[in-house]
Chains A and B, each alone.
Chain A
Amino acid sequence: MTDVGEVITRVHHEEWARVIATLARRLGDLDIAEEMAAEAFATAVERWPVDGVPPSPGAWLTTTAHRKAIDRLRREVRREEKHREALMVFDTPEPLGVIDDDRLRLVFTCCHPALAMEARIALTLRMVGGLTVPEIARAFLVEENAMGRRITRAKAKIKAAKIPYGVPFREDIPARVIGVLAVLYLIFNEGYLASDPEKEAVRGELTAEAIRLTRLVRDLMPADGEVAGLLALMLLTEARRTARVSASGELVTLGEQDRGAWDRELIAEGHALVRARLAAGQAPGRYQILAAINAVHTAARDIRDTDWSQVVALYDQLVRVDPSPIVRLNRAIAVAELDGPQVALAEVDDLPLEGYHAFHAARADLLRRLGRSEQSRAAYDRAIGLAGNTAEAAYLIRRRDQLSGP
């Protein structure tokens, strides 16, 4: 019994996206595809412990869901007529530069730029990830009904506005892939450093789900450097997850982390991906550069062993791709290690990031290192007031309280 339960959980992980994607193409309707896939899995939970697990579970589920859909549509002939008019459009008028897989159509549909970002995230977790509505609601601390409505609204827009179930036009692909990666990275970051003080500081189930989805997208677009870059970035970040929050629930900075607690396997995989991208010899995008920065950090035995000139050089590269103030802030933090806090502070002070907690946290740290305790304390106060994450706030409070008198 337990064995079958485990098999069903595994099959759900592995086959959910494929079952929905195939049904959505055959039926032209995401809503019915979702409903029938869920029913097929419910049937499996009933039948497999009695009949045994079928030799090809994915095919069994797709066939079962498809039969249920046909039965349903036959029972509701009138609905079927209406349904035919509302079929999703899935023609792709131009030859594709990527693997033709129904799951990829599903990913691009769920991450369509005409949908609001929060709808894209919810839809991707439901349709591609197979998370239930209550699970998604819990992960984002949204009421279950509200999350259900968000997903329903998104599906209604896909149907009414005829968002195509397909891979985008060739010339739109780079921008659309960036859009998909943005959704995956947001899911990861929500798990890695939750923005809401009510939530746990780090939630492994969301980071794990983001990595799983990114692996899937990488399988579907193996030649895309940015997809590989994002996967590497996630792996190298995830490797440090357990070392990042102390037993007392406080954020542990990179310099103070127990590097022995880092996940060596994830680091090895991340490093291999970064090396492969370097060998490809193409100009890297932002995820590849961020992954390379994390590769430098995870290659160092300790914070002093870190190759800071390499880190700053990579940030210079990143600033050319994305000259945003946040990137320049992170570059300045690396500059402090190379050229000292005085140089870094001059760069930080110019940045228009008054409302961003990390800006004040960085200033506080640099001022502390320069012995300017009073100004440092004021900057910590600002940072603590703006920090949304509990672990981060706890860390900042401790650092502030450790400051010597003014």
Chain B
Amino acid sequence: MAQYLMSVLFDSTDLATAEEMAAIDVFNEKLQADGNWVFAGGLAAPATATVVDGRDGDPVFTDGPYLESKEHVAGFWIIEAPHLDVALRLAALGSKSCNRRVELRPLLGE
């Protein structure tokens, strides 16, 4: 089994609509029922982020995301799948349910 990070890409800070939330719930239940669920979460707006650099002496805190971009990650799933064809299918369903594009990226194996 491999794990994949499924990042939800979005270009506005608007939250999901009630309809989208309902579809996401259905998708989450399917992931859990089929054994593909690992974790998921929605993220607050990029403007609420703080970049922290603790590499050298006193940590440095910087307000805002590390990259200003038109699109940002609005949420994510971590899913488990035997191979990419299954993960791609789940990603397509996930994208449909939250009504946004997603980026699928494998986690490194142990």
Q: Is B85 an interface residue (CB 8 A)?
A: yes
Give the residues from 69 to 105 in chain B that come closer than 8 angstroms, CB to CB, to chain A. Answer: 82-85, 87-89, 105
Q: What residues on A are CB-neighbors of B105 within 8 Å?
A: 161
| Contact present for B85 and A164 (CB under 8 Å) | yes
Q: Is B110 an interface residue (CB 8 A)?
A: yes
| Contact present for A160 and B106 (CB under 8 Å) | yes
Q: A142-175 toward B: CB 8 Å interface, digit per residue (1/0)?
A: 0000000000000000001111100011001000
Q: Is B109 an interface residue (CB 8 A)?
A: yes
Q: A99-124 toward B: CB 8 Å interface, digit per residue (1/0)?
A: 00000000000001110000000000
A89-B82, A91-B82 known; A162+B106 contact, CB < 8 A:
yes
Q: Is B21 an interface residue (CB 8 A)?
A: no
Tell me which of A85, A89, A172 has the highest count of chain B C-beta atoms within 10 A of its own C-beta.
Answer: A89
Q: Is B2 an interface residue (CB 8 A)?
A: yes
* Tally of contact residues, B, Cβ under 8 A: 14
Shortest Cβ distance from A163 into B: residue: B84
Give the residues from 68 to 110 in chain A that come closer than 8 angstroms, CB to CB, to chain B. Answer: 85-86, 89, 91, 93
Q: What residues on B are CB-neighbors of A91 within 8 Å?
A: 82-83
| Contact present for A114 and B84 (CB under 8 Å) | yes
Chain B interface, DSSP helix/strand/loop, else mixed: mixed
| Contact present for A164 and B84 (CB under 8 Å) | yes
Q: What residues on A are CB-neighbors of B88 within 8 Å?
A: 113-114
Contact of B85 among A86, A160, A168 (CB under 8 A): A168
| Contact present for B83 and A164 (CB under 8 Å) | yes
How many Å from the CB of B50 to the closest CB on chain A?
31
Q: How far is the CA of A113 from the CA of B91 in the complex (A)?
A: 14
| Contact present for A89 and B83 (CB under 8 Å) | yes
| Contact present for B2 and A85 (CB under 8 Å) | no
Q: How far is the CA of A168 from the CA of B87 in the complex (A)?
A: 13
Give the residues from 290 to 342 in chain A that come closer than 8 angstroms, CB to CB, to chain B. Answer: none
How many Å from the CB of B91 to the closest CB on chain A?
10
| Contact present for B84 and A85 (CB under 8 Å) | no
Q: What residues on A are CB-neighbors of B106 within 8 Å?
A: 160-162
Q: How far is the CA of A359 from the CA of B1 in the complex (A)?
A: 51
Q: What residues on B are CB-neighbors of A169 within 8 Å?
A: 85, 89
Q: What residues on A are CB-neighbors of B2 within 8 Å?
A: 89, 162
| Contact present for A85 and B110 (CB under 8 Å) | yes
How many Å from the CB of A218 to the closest CB on chain B?
24
Q: How far is the CA of A172 from the CA of B86 in the complex (A)?
A: 11
Shortest Cβ distance from B82 into A: residue: A89
8 other A-B residue contacts (CB within 8 Å) besides A160-B108, A162-B83, A162-B106 = A89-B83, A91-B82, A91-B83, A161-B4, A162-B2, A163-B84, A164-B85, A169-B85
What 10 pairs across the A-B complex have the smallest Cβ distances? A89-B83, A164-B83, A162-B83, A161-B106, A162-B2, A163-B84, A161-B84, A162-B84, A164-B85, A160-B106
